Chain A
Amino acid sequence: MFDYAPAPESRDLVKFQESYGHFIGGKFTKPSNTYGTINPATEQTLAQISHGTAKDVDAAVKAARSAYEKTWSKLDGATRGKYLYRIARIIQERSRELAVAETLNNGKPIKETRDADIPLAASWFFYYAGWADKLDYAGLGANPMAHGVAAQVVPWNFPLMMLAWKIAPALAAGNTVVLKPAETTPLSALLFAEICQQAELPEGVVNIVTGFGDTGAALIDHGDINKVAFTGSTNVGRIIAKQIAGTNKKATLELGGKAANIVFEDAALDQAVEGIVNGIFFNQGHVCCAGSRLLVQESVQDVLIKKLKARMENIRLGDPMDKNTDIGAINSKAQLTKIDRLVKQGVKEGGERWAPACAMPKNGFWFAPTIITGVAPTNTVAREEIFGPVLSVMTFRTPAEAVAKANNSQYGLSAGVWTEKGSRILKMADQLNAGVVWANTYNQFDPASPFGGFKESGYGREGGRHGLLSYLKGSN
């Protein structure tokens, strides 16, 4: 048999500073109150990061407010757009460096940062750059207005891509921003701050404050922000919705999911297997829209699971910097503990656990790609978001039963449908209560395409014209 030779990407493509301050008013502050950020694949410290305080947040909001009033809101849309085009181009120019930085800090495979995270981040800026001078066509009538200062809090699963989803439409619409990256993955946001400097973006238009949950809470609570955009867990989303109750702050919340990936007996099963693998094992399953509940029609359950297991035997888990790696490191010890706890709970509640034999690296945080069969709809692993490479398998007999089971969730972010019957796809797409439905594909993203959830998966959309609307209001 053939085997893969190691094909590591060069670690030297990125050089981190020893320590970082916040990026406020176009400059980096002196590092203070620092903590180490690590590579989850090796547990080695990459840099020291400042843990932002309420005072830091206040300085950043003041810088953003001042930039909004003095420069950004006075610029014409075409000029704002040109800055965004510049940023898009610099991200493309520095894409290898950014991919390596992201993989080192997040633990995800280099092939994903190289082919998905970074190109999508660039495309998001390129797409929204073109909107900046066309706001009259956004659908709110002539001369729509920005909200003002946007507070943005992003998660650790797609650090730079989530930053782009937040910052690009905000700036195109004429807002200024204060963004807080996740505590475990701040480095690509800090490199992005450098990119803002290289693009000569006016100071204070983008501010980055690093830190933990308390830093984010201070930002959301700040009295001088007008717009909140958050991607993360439903629990934190709930807290934010309560925090801003009774204020004039507008919110976009992109929260958890427990997507059903539905395979009918007439599906192209080999394609479906690829889609299932992509749906749940992409990015170690650290994806809010991951296809974490496989609903397979009873008649093809045995053959599909057999094919799926055979495919999973060929998944390569290991060094994220290796270009052939499919599954990298779990982002943090805390996340690994959570995945482990939920899987054990699922087995206790009657599920049967299976994973291919795979060698785990000695250091770092790892979890083998896993499926749990025989899962009842009441099982914890059928209801709770695991946010890891774990697939819960259930069966159905009729399309109506598939819809009922798929919709039986507090979440409603995404769903997958696999069938060769066109009319069935369209009817399923109508009936599934999910913000994104992927039919005969999965985990596709594009800046022109709106993304966001129903029910407790949040509200507001990111991407496309609808994503722009989240950052605009009609003129009075």
Chain B
Amino acid sequence: MATSVRIKGLLKEFGSFTAVDRIDLEIKAGQFFTLLGPSGCGKTTTLRMIAGLERPTGGEIYVGDRLVSAPNRGVFVPPEQRRMGMVFQSYAIWPHMTVFENVAFPLRELRLPKATVHERTLATLELVGLADFASRPAPLLSGGQQQRVALARALAPSPEVLLLDEPLSNLDARLREQMRFEIRSTQARLGITTIFVTHDQLEAMTLSDEVAVMHSGRVEQIGPPRHVYEQPATRYVMDFLGQVNHLSARIRVIDGVSHAEVRGAGTIRLGSTEGLAEGDEVVLGFRSESVNLAPGGGDLVGTITAATYIGGYMEYVVEVGGAGLHVRAPADSNLPIGSSTGLRMTIDGIRTWGGSTPAAPPQAPIS
């Protein structure tokens, strides 16, 4: 049965260090929700507090309508009573048990009849494609198999919430892709509320219904992956979600329309004037897909300093106003190093940071 998870003002301090700084999250029933951020941003601590493995310093956690943690009110439900399943980064497969015993463990803790334990264990192993491995001792499993046992063990007791702590980070690239797909399809089939922790933006993009980008114990932005990617609320979010080009520029307001003037390279018409004023020093941020080579034309002029073939397309480094921009172009484009080229910008893809007034809040999700 899918359940929502609500977090209010969650706080965790280790001595004078604040690992999680009063965050609020609202995870809807059946959602695949991802906590994304670099190591040390507090995402794993947040997950562990939801699990009950870490005691919060403040704030409240609700699972459905049940309050499971509220230090101010003396509420702390121990992990074994929270009806959650968890897959650990190290998988934490008990080495002194067989595959079957590992998966049956949570069912036996529920004091289910023997026959039921047997039946449900095998059914869950079937679900992850390990039915043939039931009697194998756990230490004799490969990384991918351990991962599946961990998933089966977490799912066997039909928990209300599934917690995944970087479950893919110990797998090699090919297996990671396959497991990513399997986790997503299993989750979709069972419709279980899932909270996933990762530092890999690709995993976050491809798996999630919603992503919360965390930084220094705070949530920088929450939204569907596409929204977070295309409408980053902060420069940090934009940088974290993929390669970003940065350009320093000065704002010029011409006929009521703001333009960004890049010294020695040209001017880009930004359209909106919101949050920007004449003379502001700003940083423009945009991804390589928002800039195209336009030899002999475009908004900016630069010099090609490097060209690399990256399978399917070319990546050029174009020096513009002292900064090196990464620009993609078709594989058959053949511009010599040292030549000068024009660049055409896709204005929707440009974010400006550092204006004199706060930037506008991100708009509603793009459908």
Tell whether A and B belong to one assembly.
no
